[in-house]
Structure formats: C-alpha cells, structure tokens
Structure 1
C-alpha cells in the first residue's frame, strides 16, 4: 500500500502549487478541495443535506450551491461552520480513502487544508508536509487571488488554525517565500528524499 503524505498549510500558503509540482513528478494527488467541489454538484446527497440544514437561500435558481453566500454565512456564524463540516467531512474522508486505495505508487499526496482541525480523523497519514509562509504574504496572496476584501481575507485566515499550530504537527516544512522555481526545487528535493524512505 502507498504511503500517504499530507500536504497542508494555511490559505494562500501555496499548497496548490506544491501539489502541481508533485503531479509533474508523477506523484498521485488526492485533493480534498476537489472532492468537496465534486460533492457540491446539484442534487448530490451532500447538497441535499446542506439545503435541509441551511435552506434554499444558499442555492441559485439552477440548484447550484452559491459558494459566496455560504462562505459569508459560515464566517459570520461559527455554529454554521460546524454544521457544514458535520455534513461534508465524513463523506469527503470516505471518498479520499477510496481514491488513495486505488494507487500503487510509493506514496500518494493527500492535499488537506484543515489537517490541524481534523488530525484525529486521518490515522492513515504517514508524513505531514506543511507549506509555510508569513501571514502578511498569506493575506496579500488571498486578496489578489480571490478578489476578496482584506477584511474577508483576514477572517478566512483567522478561522483556520494558526501558523504555530500547523508547524507543531509538521514532519517536514517547505517555506514558500521565494519564486515558483524555488518552490518546485524544494518539492523535488523532498520527493527524492522521501522516495528513499519508501523503498
């Protein structure tokens, strides 16, 4: 069975670019955000549960989830975030485990943004790789990438575990504070070193 490397980091830290670099190296990537996105298809069991919990207002006329409305709700009301997580997390975890089991490569990357918050649910993880940068860099990236107000970006960062909490569970850390080329070189170095431990 493949070993599992969890790639985590705060919003705007560069997890997506790190996962792209792993993919380019031929490492399978199971991405919880992608699974969650697939599960938000109109009419899916997860979306039916979301509609029951939060009402029709969270959906547009075509029955698609209005992500912006839902995001505003869960950041305004902590209870709403807990309720959403109770609907989505078990289903996402089961699908991730199913996908991981399909691979026979030496290791699989599990892209998991909120690992600190859910570490107890992921017993199959062999190695935690944290993608790290300072909070001001995070904030700048989130505002630029998502076209959000600085206040909303700060709220999103604050809603996640702290930088110190992420670093406390890390087996390895990739600092994403330079160029994309530099980041890709760091991923390649990790890949070479970790592949040796899988032999």
Structure 2
C-alpha cells in the first residue's frame, strides 16, 4: 500500500508529486488514460474552452509543458494525453486540481442532484443537469478514447458499455470534489499511483 503524506496547503507545483519508484511506459500509459477520464469529466461538466484552459496552465506555470495539448484543447473534442512524459502528466494533475477547485460549486450541485435521485429512486438522466453531464461525458469518451484497447484502462472488454460508463462518470464526479481540495493534486496523484500498483 502506498503511503502519501498530505502537505500543508500551498500553491501546487510539480515537485509536490513524488514517486516511490520509477514508472515504466505501460504504467505511464495507464496513468495517462486514467487522467484522460478525469479530464473528460471536467470538460463534460464545465465546457471549459481553450482560453480559460490556457490561463489555468499559465497560472500554474505549466503552459510550456502542455503547449501542444493546449493547442488541441476543445471542450467538445477533448485533448487526449498522447505524449507520456512524466512532467506532462504531473502538469495535467495540477490542471485538474485547479479546475476542480474553480468549479467546486457545480461539482457539489451535481453530486447533490445525484443523491436526490438515489433517495427518490429516479434515474440520473431524469435530472437535466446530470443528464447533460452524462451525455457530454459519453459523447466525448466515445469520440476520443472509445476505440482504445481495454488493457489500457484495466477492463475486460474493448469499450465501456454506456451503463458502466455512466457509472464511472458519476464516480469521477464525486472524486472531483476531493481533487479540488487544497491537497487535491496530492490526492489525485496518490490515487493514480495506487491504481497502477493494484494492476501490477
């Protein structure tokens, strides 16, 4: 089991994200794919566009690491993590943390909607805000990573079924609440490393 020390709140930086041991290319690929799913959730929830994404990257001083990724960014298309450089993946973790912080209100609101559907035995798609999020998530996923090999995301079939994908989207929605905390970048990085370890 990985142990991860949560440091006091301070501006997040790449050096915060340490490694207990080096990662090989297959581990980097799995981390990249997991990050893609989280970033799809952010895109589906917020519809953030390139100008805001560039500003976030500049504020975090990671724009130079992600220049081509930012050039390809569109909330409707999403920019997959095609280059598996460790610092680039760390930079994406910082981006997710900042965006989850910025959009905490909408994240909490949609989680509340989801809890209400559970209590009232409704389907999430019966709530307009949740339906939009789930539909956006499915659309972006199928367009960008639906054709990837199942081995890259740790599942036994080449694609998520829509029900499983919707469930994954709702799970990530809750996770975003924690990834948006003061030490959210550490939480996300620890979760990614633990998932790699559990597969290995």
Same fold (TM over 0.5): no
When the two structures are superposed, what TM-score results if normalisation uses the length of structure 1?
Answer: 0.31
Structure with more of its chain in helix, by fraction: 2
Q: Could you say which structure has the greater relative contact order, defined with CA pairs below 8 angstroms and 6 or more residues apart? A: 1
Structure with more of its chain in strand, by fraction: 1
Look at both structures and tell me which one has the larger radius of gyration over its CA atoms. Answer: 1
